[in-house]
Amino acid sequence: MHRLDPRVKVVAVVGFVALSTMLTSRTALALAAGFLLVLTAAARLHLRQLVSRLLWLLPFAGIMIFLFPFIIPGEPFWRWEWGILTLTATREGWQHALMLSLRVFAAVLAVNFLMATTGLRRVLEALSFFRVPAVFIQLIEFSIRYIYVVGDELRRMKTARTARGFVPGRHLFHRHTFRTLGQTIAVLFIRSWERGERIYHAMLARGYSGENRKRALPPPGGWDLAWGAFILSVAIGLRLFELGGHIWLLSLK
């Protein structure tokens, strides 16, 4: 899978994500996520890396599961009262939060499979082949490249803050902690902007013109096309199954 043509993988994965997000049943979404987990295992990707990326979903999914049952109207299934305050969770809100979480989970699994088996450079070459605007490709490339530079700057600032004896409060709204973190964010923004200016001028001095150098990619082989068709056929099959495909098969018998 690591040697498959990047253009075929981009089309297959984007198509799979588009079709899986149209699924409306939990069973079909769970099958789509299970298929992506099988692909991840077949590609022999690192489980620790996958888990670390999925952990980024917890705050997003946690907020949805916590808020949606209380803000979406429907049939109540749990109520909590405290004085004049009353919170009512609805069954429709819980189902909506669960469906959205499954869609995000399947999309992250698909993107992780694409990036881990292809690499950023080959994905950008595939996007350039499909005539994606150069500005958009450069925005992705520079964002991923320099996010680690900004992360290193943030770690140095944290070390310097600790060396000066800074001790954070018990919560974010502690006055001294809140003011110190606000100053850190402001200084980090200014330093990132100044470094970006220096890097941009250095690139211009080396002949940077804003255009990507396109590398001619060989045409995809039959094995590449077969794998791409297989991935898309699974998504199409799940969609047809959800639309009543199993009833059509029974009627044909």
Q: Quick: pLDDT tens for 109-141.
A: 888 888 888 888 888 888 888 888 888 888 888
| R_g of the chain computed on alpha carbons | 24
pLDDT tens digits, one per residue of 42-80: 888 878 877 887 787 777 777 777 788 888 888 887 787
Residue 26 CA, chain-centre distance (Å), reads 20
* Averaged pLDDT for residues 74-100: 82
Asked if residues 108 and 58 have their Cβ atoms less than 8 Å apart, the reply is no
**213 CB burial (10 A radius; 0-12, 13-18, 19+):** exposed
Distance CA 56, CA 215 (A): 34
pLDDT at 246: 57
Task: Return the closest-CA partner of residue 41 out of 91, 127, 109.
Answer: 109
HEC-encoded secondary structure of 194-247: HHHHHHHHHHHHCCCCCCCCCCCCCCCCHHHHHHHHHHHHHHHHHHHHHHHHHH
Q: Residue 21 phi/psi, 5° resolution?
A: -70, -15
Q: What is the pLDDT of residue 213?
A: 67
